[in-house]
Amino acid sequence: MHSLVFTLSQASPTLMEGLVLGDHPSLLGRVIWSVAVIFVGITPFISVFAMLAIWGERKVAGHMQCRFGPNRVGPIGILQSLADGLKLFVKEDLRPGVADGLLFRLAPYMAFVPVFVAYMALPFGPDWTFEPALGAGLFWLLAVLTLEIMGVILAGWGSNNKWAVYGAMREVCQMVSYEIPLGMSIVVAVMTAGTLNLVQLGNIQSGGLHTWLVFRNPFVFLACCVYFVASLASNKRAPFDLPESESELVAGFHTEYSGMRWSFFFFAEYSAMFAVGGIQAALFLGGWNDPFGLIGYLHGKWMASGFSAGLVALNAVGAAIFVAKACVIVFIQMWLRWTLPRPRIDQVLYACVKVLLPITCVLLLGGAVWQLLVRERVGLPWKDYQPWDLASWWTGGFAATMVTQIVLSLVGLTVVSMVLGWIGYAWVTRHSVVQRLSEAAPIEPRQRVGA
Amino acid sequence: MMGFLADNTTQTETASAVLFYMCAAIVVGSAIWVASSRSIVRMALALLFTLVGVGGLYFCLNAEFLAAVQLVVYAGGTLILIVFGVMLTNPSTAKLYSPRRIEVVVATSIGLLLLASLVTAIVRSTLSGNGPETQSGSYAVGKLGEALLGDYLVPFEIISVLLLAVMIGAAYLAKARRKGEGN
């Protein structure tokens, strides 16, 4: 009988598993190992990331609004989230008397658990994925993330508060419609890659900057932008934060929540931000690979020679790169939140159905036609072809692919360097601000008219 | 070497059985909850657990793509629409659903009929535990895609045209209703 457990027990152990348990681990050992990874690796990562991201968001918001943000607890306020967590931990857990008790209590977990499960398939390094053998890994990630809506719905409905129900209904409208452009923009990239397995997706992009899927063809490049917009909406991040728009709905779906239950929604939100950022990094932006393809090259080489210490180091570097890429995307999400105003719900749905959806349809068709007309490099870089040997690309009949990838890489580098230049300019001229916040002039009391 | 293998096989079978019974318990328990609950949103929640449990069963059978489809289509799509419909029509959380006697009788008899036919089918089936060789991994997904756009292209296209017709029909009905309300 070919059950899941059978397949898992037959699969060869992953790098770390092999190092700890030996080459032929027993099933029990592997189960214990997996549980240990969840408790020692994934859970602390999510908790620490969510805490730092909440602090980071407040810092980003502060500096964008000419404030300092949290700066009292710990150096540059970095322990603020810990203090807040302590406060939330001891805060009274209020529940409205007219609420549906069961749904109200269950909702925070229903929002958090799907996001937690999504980390099962996120590829942190060439050998550092919790479940690398998941054939439909990307699809599985999306499927799990859609379940997060249920938590919001139950929170809104269970609270028995009209603002909460409005928030939940907006969430449903928004999520159900934005899932379509989200999924279709992913398909454009998957068509180019030819796999749904996140580890294979990373390996395909291991040949350096120009082999990253976002630079493979112009349609994937645009699909990457569409994915980002749709992921904002599906994550209920501003400007699509209508489910909790505080200026209209008090606090939206979590109006009635307090204490730890409330903080679960925040953990879910920030973990989901990292998860969608991680999907974007893994699918479009090369995953754990560096821009020169060194990790892919060394990994193949050390895999063949069995140099495990090097492989572990390589995975650590890859995981750092992956987390850095996802964090840049999370930063852009925060940046947008404090920059853009919030549209109305009809404008949000208009943008989805009449703008994003036609764009993704065109991209999907364009990507398919591109596959038919342009000859692309198939297989893994370094293994099946040399990514940096451009002469062989030219003579091998991949001239069109080569030119496209180089042009798109240059476009991408230009955008990144423009943003970095802007930030550098702001940093250099920071002392020429006319009046600093720390030396604010005293406010003169205005004279009363007619006094 | 052989002793080690036998040990691993026993462990595999035990683990498979444990996973199966866990998923089955979730499915059966939450299905009973769906039938016995009187609050519609709680029923929807219980139905979610049932659907996720069925997804888990698919997962145990190594059909991870089917499991993901189960989550997207049923748990993430259909169920959300049901809840959305309930929210738009049901005035309050406090309102409980109380079925009439005739409804109970009809539903129970249909349920018993279904149960009887399923049990008969399972008892009479000649399928052994060893199904055809299944392949896990992206290869299986690729095979599925090739089958849908190759051997089964005509049914696939007919179904997509049917879905398109349903969508246009729904949009037309919604629009006609709105016009009628305006007059």
From the list B52, B61, B77, which residue is nearest A3 (CB)?
B61
Confidence of residue A243 (pLDDT cuts 50, 70, 90): confident
Residue entry with tokens 């969430």: A171
Residues 101-160 of B with CB under 8 A from A: 129-131, 133-134, 136-141
How do residues B1-11 score in pLDDT, each as one tens digit?
344 445 667 77
Higher pLDDT pick, B86 / B118: B118
The per-residue pLDDT for B178 is 62
From the list B41, B84, B136, which residue is nearest A135 (CB)?
B136
Question: Does A169 contact chain B (CB < 8 Å)?
Answer: yes
How do residues B45-56 score in pLDDT, each as one tens digit?
888 899 989 988
The per-residue pLDDT for A359 is 93
Name the minimum distance, in Å, from the CA of A32 to any CA of chain B. Answer: 13
Residue A1 has pLDDT above 50, yes or no: no
Q: What angle do CA A175, A178, A180 make, to 5 degrees?
A: 120
Residue A302 has pLDDT above 70, yes or no: yes
Confidence of residue A194 (pLDDT cuts 50, 70, 90): confident
Average pLDDT of the residues in A156-183: 84
Which of the residue ranges A66-70, A194-198, A348-352, A436-440 would you say has the lowest mean pLDDT?
Answer: A436-440
Please report, rounded to a whole number, the percentage of residues in chain A having pLDDT higher than 90.
Answer: 10
The per-residue pLDDT for B4 is 46
From the list A9, A102, A179, which residue is nearest B8 (CB)?
A9
β partners of residue A129: A123
Q: With CB atoms and an 8 Å threshold, state whether B136 touches A133.
A: yes
